[in-house]
Structures are given as structure tokens and as C-alpha cells.
Chain A
Amino acid sequence: MLKLEEFTQKRKLIPFIILLMLSLIPLFIKNEYILHLIILILLWSILGISWNLLGGYTGQVSFGHAAFFGVGAYTACLFYVKGGIPLWLGIIAAGISGALISIPIGAICFRLRGPYFALSVLALAEVLRLITLHWKSFTEGAVGILLIETIFSTKLGYYYFIIGIAIITIIIMAYLLQKRTGYYFRAIREDEDAAEALGIFTLRYKLFALIISAFFTGIMGAFFANYTNYIDPYIVFSIGDVSIAMVLIVVLGGIGTFWGPLIGATIVVLISEGFRSFFSTASLLIYGVLIVLVILFLPRGVVGSIQRKI
């Protein structure tokens, strides 16, 4: 019994040890492409962790998280380009606007049982994509927004920045999950009626999970905009490249597990980058094959399947 508790205590430190090691890597490796890969892995890990909080732990599956990603990206860019607001502040504003836009959807759909939430977020993402596309005077439409100046001028800057965000995200996640909130999230996932009968205000907790999930997704949207210097409606509101990718990463890694999103992000980024070098259009095919393989052989994801064996 004591051994198990010791082990779980030490286990909590592992993410930070990994991130510490990652922080030291640039001292030895100067190859910018490797830094780029790690940045991508961390970007998708944070996105995966955000989705997992709502979809994996609370059981509210979303196929439209691109809505929050895109809103975050455009908030940061438009604040800067139209309002002259520094990109630093834009990142926080991005998280807030992601969270704000999620509230009406949650407030309505979480009162209902069934697929309404999943479909509504998907619809929201599409509606936002279309609005952004056609409201040219405000958003530049399909031309997109090019950031001439961004937060950092070196890849190294973004590298440490995203490590920092990853640390904050993991701390918040771990904190919530070990408190009463984490138990309530999982109770809601398992059986909402049972949860209500045990005194849980399920609507409030579902909204809470959604707001946090949307907040971090929005922040990642703003990070992405700064890192790649350019956004347009097709990129940031994309169903396949953003919404479904987030689902794939978590499901592959292990839905509802702590490590799932990190493992899933690593696998998906490495595979798609690997294949991109060889055949670029096949990357979409790879996604499809991965999804089929996961459903057939690893429905609990990598981490989930290992946990099952223990």
C-alpha cells in the first residue's frame, strides 16, 4: 500500500522531469528542425490535454474544437493588426475569447442528453469559419492575416515559451483531477443520473470543463498564429487538421488517461512529419489508417491498453 503511494507521488514528477530535460536539449542540439518537432509535439500535447479534460475525463465529446482554436488565433491577430494590442496580451485574450464563445453552446447543449453538444460545436466551428471567410472587412477573409512581427524572433524563444505553457497546463490539469472536481468530472462521464443523485450539479461541472478546455485551445490558436506567422479561415477552423486531429491524438494515446494526449501527440506528429517528407498528400491517408487501426486494435489507446494489462 505504501509502495503504491510512493510510486504515485514520484509519478507526478515525471512530466516535469521530462520538461526539464526538454529545456536542456537546446544546449546540445542546435538542429532547428528537431526543435520544431518538439514544439509541434508540445503544441498538440497541450491541445490533446485540453480536449481530453472535456472529452476524456468528463465524457463530453467535441468534434469542433477548431472553433476555439480559430477564435483564439484570430483574436490575437486582429487585436494586434487592428487594435495595436501587443501579441503578449493577445495570447491571454485568445484564451478568454475561446472560453467565452464556448459558454452559449455549453449552456444550451449540456442541459440535453444525446449528441447535441458534439454536433453543435462542430456546427459552431463551421459557422465561425464561414463568418471569418466572408466578413472580409474585419478578418481579411481568405487572404488571411500575415504577422510581420511576432512575439519571438527565434525558434528558441517559442521553444521555451511552449514548454512554459505546457508546465502550466499540466499543473492545472493535475490539480483539478486530484481534487473533488476531478472525481465529479469522471462521475459525470460514467453516469449522469447517478452523479445528480449524489448531489453533483452536472451542468455546472460540464461547463467548467468546457471553459477550461476552450481557454487552453484558444491560447494554442494564438501560439500557432505567432509561430507560423500566417493564418486563414481554412487553416485554423479546419475540421480535419484541427478538430479531428485533436480527437485522434487523444484516442490514439488513450482517452481519459493522463499520459494519453502526450503519447498520442508524439506518435501522430512523428508519423505525419515522417510521411510528409516522403509523400505530402498521403498524410491525410495516414490519419485515416491510424483511426481505423486504433478503433480495431487499440480502442483504449496506447496508454489505456497498457493500463488494462496491469
Chain B
Amino acid sequence: MILEVKGLTKNFGGLMAVKDINFYVQRGEILGLIGPNGAGKTTIFNMIGGFFKPTKGTVYFKGIDITKLSPPKICKLGITRTFQLVKPLSQLTVLENVMVGAFVRVKDPIEARKRAIKILEFTGQVDKKDMRAANLSHGDRKKLEISKALATQPELLLLDECMAGLNPHEVSDAIEIIKRIRESGVTLIVIEHVMKAIMSISDRIIVLNHGEKIMEGTPDQVAVNPEVIKAYLGERYARN
């Protein structure tokens, strides 16, 4: 188990965003995390990544308790997360953005540049490497978010809605990239709303609603589960 989450809870004042979440991730698998908006998916990513401190519960990464560690420390240990609302380094070029990611593993700018170029070739963004991030299209920014994260050489990559707002061609491209990321040995947890995508790439899926885990299983099992259908489409569809 590369990641183990036990009793993870987050309370914002009176709002219980995440309640007693337990799950694990095996090395090399792709775990899908789905649920309606507001279910608590990004909050879980924030807690794993060290951006929020859980109200209760622990997160173990490779057996180490990382619950109270800071985000940069967690990145150095091997977990990198992307952001749902992308955070490009706007005034820097695409290449420089990815170099910043590479710098967590290497100090020399020339070496960082080499690695960044390799990553951009992997994600198919090399032709845009000297463009300022501020001038990128939405799809390119989403891809840059992945490129930046890959440059940090994570063992576990948390992708937060990396396909939001992408056209069908871009979605296929993203699915392709995610599969290649897994092939390269990286474990993934993917939050996604694009059902076709998440069903096709995930080994296992966890479904969240109102901060609680309502189901866990293979994509096929999840697709027919009445609780899941109820959460997304409402009671009427579930009864059928």
C-alpha cells in the first residue's frame, strides 16, 4: 500500500466537509475518486497534500505518517497534487513552469531544463515551450498543470479534475497521457467528472457524497450501484 487514509475528517466550523474517510491505494494502480460537487473530493486532496490539517484522522504514505507535514515536504517525499482551478506561473514560460517542478529534484538549471524538455515531450507540449503561460488556451493550461506536476517525479500523483472544460479530442489526449503516466510507474488518484474517462482508466473507484464514502468498487460495480445513481441523478433514477 503506497497510501493509507484512516478516519480522515475535516470540519470547517460547523460544516462537516469530510467525515471518517478510510481508503488505501496500491502502488501502480489508478484510483478514481468521484462524487457530486461539494462531496469533499478536493478537500481530501488538500489534506493528503498538506494544505489542510485534518480535524481527525491520519494519512500514511509509504508507511510514514505525513498528516502534519507541510506541502513542500510532502512533495519532496513523493506526492504531488494538481489544482482543480489551475495555477500556472503566469509570467513564466511553459518551459520555466516545468523547470520549477524539476528543481525539487535537481539544483542545476541546465539539468532542470533538460528534464523539463523531456516532460514536455512526454505530454506533447514541447512546441509551446517558450510561450508565456498567461497566453495559453484553457486546454493547454490544464496540460501544463500535469506537466509541472510530473516534473517533480512523484510516486503518487493526485489529479484534480484535469479534464474539466476539455473538448473530446483533448479528453482522449488526457486519457492517453494518464495511461502513459501509469505505465511509467506512477500511482494515481484521479478526481474526475467526465464519466467516460474515469470509468475507462480507473482500476478501482471510490464514490463520495456529502463528505462520506458511499461506495467502493470496480467501475462496473460502481456504475450500477443504486446509492451512486441516487447521489448523481436523484431518487427517481435509482428506484429503476
In contact, B100 and A184 (Cβ under 8 angstroms): yes
Q: Which residue of A lies closest to B82 (CB)?
A: A197
In contact, B100 and A197 (Cβ under 8 angstroms): no
Q: Which residue of A lies closest to B75 (CB)?
A: A199
Q: Which residue of A lies closest to B91 (CB)?
A: A190
14 contacts between A and B (CB under 8 A): A180-B103, A180-B112, A184-B103, A187-B89, A187-B100, A191-B87, A191-B88, A194-B88, A196-B75, A197-B87, A198-B103, A198-B104, A199-B72, A256-B91
- Which 10 A-B residue pairings sit nearest by Cβ, starting from the closest? A199-B104, A194-B87, A199-B75, A190-B89, A196-B71, A191-B87, A187-B100, A180-B103, A201-B72, A199-B72
A contact residues around B100 at 8 Å (CB): 183-184, 187, 195, 198, 200
In contact, A194 and B83 (Cβ under 8 angstroms): yes
In contact, B152 and A199 (Cβ under 8 angstroms): yes
- Given that A178-B109, A202-B72 are known contacts, is A197 also in contact with B89, CB under 8 Å in the complex? no
Q: Which residue of A lies closest to B103 (CB)?
A: A180
The residues in B between 47 and 83 inclusive whose CB is less than 8 angstroms from any CB of A are: 49, 51, 70-72, 75-76, 80-83
B92 close to chain A: CB less than 8 A: yes
A84 to B81, CA, bound (A): 57
Contact-size category for A: 20 to 34
Give 16 A-B pairs besides A183-B96, A191-B87, A194-B87 with Cβ atoms closer than 8 angstroms.
A180-B103, A180-B112, A186-B91, A187-B89, A187-B92, A193-B51, A193-B71, A196-B51, A196-B70, A196-B72, A197-B51, A197-B80, A198-B151, A199-B72, A199-B103, A200-B72
Chain A positions near chain B (C-beta within 8 angstroms): 178-180, 183-184, 186-187, 189-191, 193-202, 256
In contact, A198 and B101 (Cβ under 8 angstroms): yes
In contact, B75 and A197 (Cβ under 8 angstroms): yes
Taking the nearest CB of chain A, how far is it from the CB of B89, in angstroms?
A: 4
A121 to B82, CA, bound (A): 34
Q: Which residue of B lies closest to A204 (CB)?
A: B72
A contact residues around B87 at 8 Å (CB): 191, 193-194, 197
Question: A180 touches which one: B88, B90, B109 (CB < 8 A)?
Answer: B109
In contact, A186 and B92 (Cβ under 8 angstroms): yes
B contact residues around A196 at 8 Å (CB): 51, 70-72, 75
Taking the nearest CB of chain A, how far is it from the CB of B144, in angstroms?
A: 11
A contact residues around B5 at 8 Å (CB): none
In contact, A197 and B103 (Cβ under 8 angstroms): no
Taking the nearest CB of chain B, how far is it from the CB of A30, in angstroms?
A: 45
Question: A198 touches which one: B51, B70, B75, B90 (CB < 8 A)?
Answer: B75
Q: Which residue of A lies closest to B71 (CB)?
A: A196
B contact residues around A256 at 8 Å (CB): 91
B239 close to chain A: CB less than 8 A: no
B30 close to chain A: CB less than 8 A: no
A196 to B81, CA, bound (A): 10
A contact residues around B109 at 8 Å (CB): 178-180, 183
Question: B89 touches which one: A179, A194, A199, A202 (CB < 8 A)?
Answer: A194
In contact, A198 and B92 (Cβ under 8 angstroms): no
A301 to B122, CA, bound (A): 38
In contact, A197 and B83 (Cβ under 8 angstroms): yes
In contact, B99 and A198 (Cβ under 8 angstroms): no
Taking the nearest CB of chain A, how far is it from the CB of B27, in angstroms?
A: 21
In contact, B96 and A197 (Cβ under 8 angstroms): no
Taking the nearest CB of chain A, how far is it from the CB of B92, in angstroms?
A: 6
B115 close to chain A: CB less than 8 A: no
B10 close to chain A: CB less than 8 A: no
Q: Which residue of A lies closest to B87 (CB)?
A: A194
A218 to B99, CA, bound (A): 34
A184 to B108, CA, bound (A): 13
Question: B81 touches which one: A179, A197, A200 (CB < 8 A)?
Answer: A197
B contact residues around A200 at 8 Å (CB): 72, 100, 104
